[in-house]
Amino acid sequence: MSILPKGNTQFSKGVRPAPPRSGILYRKGGKRAFDLLLAAAMTPFILPVILILAFLVSLDGGPAFYMQRRVGRNGKLFQFYKLRSMRQNADELLERLCREDPEIAEEWHKYQKLRHDPRITKVGRFIRATSLDELPQLLNVIKGDMSFVGPRPFMTSQQMLYEAANGWAYFEMRPGITGVWQISGRGETSFTDRVRYDHLYYKRLSLSTDMALIARTAGVVLKQTGH
């Protein structure tokens, strides 16, 4: 999979529409304040869970955490954290699977995900189904790389895909741990619909919208419908 040449630190931002007039205060600073308050309240409870899960993940001999450069607000690259749910050679394996199996290649092109992903470990299957693999992104929120709610940060190798889809919203706001796509059957949602959902979220961004999406995310986690 292609990666950024060394030295590049951001992507093209594309053509930006005029920002919506609604929720200006929340967009300018309220959303960040909400993120920090929620992070402060959640950290004492989430940190022990992360440590326990990290131990379980590391039992197969690999690293507990997965780190990757992702694209964030204004095209800035940042280090993205997750509990490792896949085999250590996941990227190379995906390339080989897509090269050898046209159906897998088509599924990845359409959804940017695999419904039955052979790269996922046994522990990884559980933490992905419950979205517990996303918990380390609390650090990304605290650092200011991400928000609790927003579009998912995309990989550097997906730049052309998002630019071709006119994905301007991905450069306008911090990416999120959860969002409209995550609570809308993300395993069955096409890439085109994902972009549409995230553009809609940008236009309707508000405190009430974020709180509603966080509440609905809790329901998805309890039902173990993540992928």
Query: Residue 148: its pLDDT value, please?
Result: 97
Q: Does the pLDDT value for residue 8 go beyond 50?
A: no
- Please, which residues bridge with residue 76 across strands? 10
Interval 68-98: pLDDT, tens: 999 999 889 999 999 999 887 777 888 888 8
Closest CA to 150 of 194, 87, 113, 104: 194
C-alpha dihedral, 93 to 171 to 69 to 125, nearest 10°: -50
Separation in Å, CA 114 to CA 46, 81, 109, 122: 28, 20, 10, 16
Q: Are 119 and 93 in contact (CB under 8 A)?
A: yes
Query: Residue 214: its pLDDT value, please?
Result: 94
Instruction: Using DSSP, state whether 89 is helix, strand or coil.
Output: coil
Q: What is the mean pLDDT of residues 34-60?
A: 96
Q: Does the pLDDT value for residue 135 go beyond 50?
A: yes
Query: Residue 75: its pLDDT value, please?
Result: 87
